[in-house]
Amino acid sequence: MRIANEQISKMQTVLNGPNPKSHPAVVAAFGTNVNIFEIKSGVAKLQTETFFVDSADARPDVTQGATNDRDKHVLFGSSYFAGNDDKMRAGTVIHELAHTINKDVDHFKTDGSPYDFGAKPDTKNFLVGYSHMKDLKALRSDQMHKNTDSYCVFGEEDAKLARWALEEEDLDDQSSCVALTKRVPITLRIRLPQNR
């Protein structure tokens, strides 16, 4: 949680700095035609609003994290507790925060427009925010403030940029957030009948 909070504070510093639209962490997470106003208000809410974690134990029916659409309660699963390091956990927390607090989504139509929060894609042709981020950024960067995982990537990219500035290393466009979601299947929703 501490790392997640630090990342959210750093996001705000970037967004309130000069020309946030062309900041490399913003471009990496949202693309080149972003709606800075929406991203700013989303990140501000991440910093101030509360979400609820019912249990400090891993839920057997959850892999990484899961959000209950209705009551802002978040559960974490075995991969979150056992398989992740602290930075990965921070990314999962930020991802679930974006779902619970801002009603951001994982699913997009093939034209890049987001599905409503809680809506299931009605076709097999849909794009997923954490798997098709590159395509979605190219298609509808102006809608990427609705993409849950962009906030996870924003936090991670910003931390990496700060680190790289110190180490004078080259940029790498693969964030560990995206690498994580590719490697570990994330349970998107709690698999309970009353949730859907």
Three-state DSSP at 127 gives strand
Q: Is 104 near Zn ion (CB under 5 A)?
A: no
- Using N-to-C axis directions, what is the helix angle for 148-167 and 133-140, rounded to 10°? 100
- Secondary structure class of 27 (helix, strand, coil): helix
Ramachandran quadrant class, 112 (left: phi over 0; alpha: psi -120 to 50; beta: rest): left
- Give the nearest distance from C-beta 135 to Zn ion in angstroms: 17
Residue 106: CB minimum distance to Zn ion, A: 4
**Residue whose CB is nearest to Zn ion in the complex, by number:** 106
Task: Tally the residues of the chain.
Answer: 196
Of 33-41, 100-108, 120-128, 151-159, which segment contacts Zn ion by CB under 5 A? 100-108
User: Between 136 and 155, how does the x/- string for binding to Zn ion read (CB under 5 A)?
Assistant: ------------x-------
Report the residue from 104, 106, 157, 158 that binds Zn ion according to the rule CB under 5 A: 106
Count residues binding Zn ion (CB under 5 A): 3
What's the min distance (Å) between Cβ of 26 and Zn ion?
A: 20
Annotate 40-82 with three-state secondary structure. Answer: HHHHHHHHHCCCEECCCCCECCCCCEEECCCCCEEEEEHHHHH
Least distance between Zn ion and beta carbon 21 (Å): 25
Structure tokens at 176: 């560990």
Per-residue x/- mask for Zn ion, residues 15 to 44, rule CB under 5 A? ------------------------------
**Minimum distance from CB of 104 to Zn ion (Å)?**
8
In terms of C-beta density within 10 A (0-12 exposed, 13-18 middle, 19 or more buried), how is residue 36 classed? middle
- Sites of contact with Zn ion (CB under 5 A): 106, 148, 188
